């Protein structure tokens, strides 16, 4: 179905790519930061779930994260940001194209039980018992595997839906175990629970419909996001080194493609400029010093385009 936002009190958005963003919750702030970094300018009026982008033919649509994959899969929305867990739960993985992983919203969907129920050590020990979750489909699929039945509708385990605060279900007597997201583990521990199985490792993703209406615009968004993620991952390192030591230095800092090497006015010396992953920066700086590099400078990258 072609995307079209039907609301007569709003401007016509039929010529705009509809871009869905979580309207609240864990992904909201990160998504707004990303939109800002990729140069998307908009003004969202209070209570309005749609905002026109002033500098691109895009309309942002603010939706619950849990519904975004369904809208994109059905073609009512062209592009969106949501979690891998939501794509799996809404059974839309075959109907959406995953453009890229975004590196935030990382957590695990886990089976959890009260620490006090020491006899329950694996998820298999919960077969036939009561499970409470917001992820009904993934939970049923997991227990279908454990029970050895092909059809998740046939499982003996009782899986019940709650919409939030899932961690309260065991303490309140509604469940013997829960299936919920865990990041730091603080929520789980505060509720006296511990994890006994992982169903999904998730993070946020940029997705489109498989037959996008605006493929070039979607590609522009993808490239801009890639640039921001690269800028967040790398720093620019500059140093001076004697030419005979250059090869060893380049071994330490090979760069994404290759280092830029420029002769210095001082005979026999060159300046090197190269991208380094932030996570290996300290080790690389030590190693550069060891091979004779001097005046090592590290600069933040604001944006990048490979
Ligand atoms: N603790 C977390 N750490 C990282 N990512 C998370 C965490 N909790 C949820 N997410 C990711 O964010 C998505 C939306 O979860 P969230 O709990 O924000 O949903 P919501 O129901 O829209 O918001 P709220 O909980 O405020 O009602 C999840 O599907 C998951 O991909
Ligand atoms: O391991 P942690 O870092 O504690 O994070 C896990 C919690 O985060 C999510 O809930 P959220 O706080 O978004 O609210 P919700 O319970 O209303 O979904 C998830 O459902 C857990 O409850």
Q: Which atom of ligand 2 is nearest to the CA of 25?
A: 13
Residue 164: CB within 6 Å of ligand 1?
A: yes
Ligand 1: residue of 20, 25, 179 to mutate (most ligand atoms within 8 A of CB) is: 25
Residues with pLDDT less than 50, the chain = none
Domain 107-202 shares a fold with domain 234-300 = no
Q: Which atom of ligand 1 is nearest to the CA of 83?
A: 31
Ligand 1 touching residue 134 (CB < 6 A): no
Return the half-sphere exposure (C-beta side, CA atoms, 13 A cut-off) of residue 70. 8
Topology of the domain covering 234-300: Alpha-Beta Plaits (3.30.70)
Q: How far apart are CA 192 and CA 289, in angstroms?
A: 49
What pLDDT sits at residue 19?
Answer: 98
Q: Is the four-CA dihedral 122, 124, 130, 136 of positive or negative sign?
A: positive
Q: Measured between alpha carbons, how far apart are the two ends of the chain, in Å?
A: 34
Quote the pTM value: 0.90
Atom of ligand 2 nearest to the CA of 182: 1
Q: Give the pLDDT of residue 4.
A: 62
The length of the chain in residues reads 306
The beta-strand segments (E) located in the chain are 17-22, 50-52, 58-63, 79-83, 96-101, 107-114, 130-133, 158-161, 177-182, 193-202, 204-209, 234-242, 260-263, 269-277, 294-300
Tell me if residue 180 falls in helix, strand or coil: strand
Could you give the CA distance from residue 138 to residue 200 in angstroms, rounded to a whole number? 9
What is the Cα–Cα distance from 166 to 159, expressed in whole angstroms? 12
Domain extent listing, the chain: 17-104+204-213, 107-202, 234-300
Res 145: pLDDT: 97
> What local confidence, expressed as pLDDT, does residue 140 receive?
98
Rounded distance from Cα 109 to ligand 2 centre (Å): 11
For residue 64, give the nearest of 79, 45, 80 by alpha carbon. 80
Q: List the CATH code of the domain at 17-104+204-213.
A: 3.40.190.10
Q: The CATH number of 107-202 is which of 3.40.190.10, 3.90.600.10, 3.60.20.10, 3.40.50.2000?
A: 3.40.190.10
Q: How far is the CA of 86 from the centre of ligand 1 (A)?
A: 10
């Amino acid at each position: 179905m072609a995307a079209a936002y039907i609301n007569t009190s709003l401007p016509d958005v039929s010529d705009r790519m509809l871009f869905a963003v979580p309207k609240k919750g864990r992904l909201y702030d990160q998504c707004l930061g990303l939109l800002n970094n990729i140069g998307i300018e908009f003004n969202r009026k209070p209570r309005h779930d749609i905002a026109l982008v002033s500098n691109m033919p895009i309309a942002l649509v603010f939706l619950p994260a849990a519904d975004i994959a369904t809208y994109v899969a059905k073609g009512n929305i062209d592009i969106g940001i949501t979690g891998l867990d939501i794509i799996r739960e809404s059974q839309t993985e075959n109907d959406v194209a995953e453009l890229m992983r975004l590196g935030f919203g990382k957590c695990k969907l886990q089976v959890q039980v009260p620490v006090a129920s020491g006899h329950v050590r694996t998820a298999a020990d919960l077969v036939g018992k009561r499970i409470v979750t917001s992820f009904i489909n993934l939970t049923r699929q997991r227990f279908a595997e454990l029970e050895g039945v092909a059809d998740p509708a046939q499982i003996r385990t009782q899986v019940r839906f709650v919409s939030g605060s899932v961690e309260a279900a065991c303490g309140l007597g509604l469940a013997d175990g829960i299936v919920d997201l865990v990041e730091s583990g603080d929520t789980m521990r505060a509720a006296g629970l511990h994890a006994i199985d992982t169903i999904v490792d998730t993070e946020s993703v940029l997705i489109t419909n498989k037959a996008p209406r605006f493929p070039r615009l979607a590609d522009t968004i993808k490239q801009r996001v890639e640039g921001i993620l690269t800028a967040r991952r790398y720093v620019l390192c500059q140093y001076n080194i004697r030419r005979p030591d250059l090869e060893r230095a380049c071994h330490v800092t090979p760069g994404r493609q290759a280092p830029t090497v420029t002769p210095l006015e001082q005979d026999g010396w060159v300046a090197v400029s190269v991208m380094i992953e932030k996570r290996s920066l300290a080790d690389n700086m030590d190693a550069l010093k060891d091979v004779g590099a001097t005046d090592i400078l590290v600069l933040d990258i604001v944006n990048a385009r490979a």
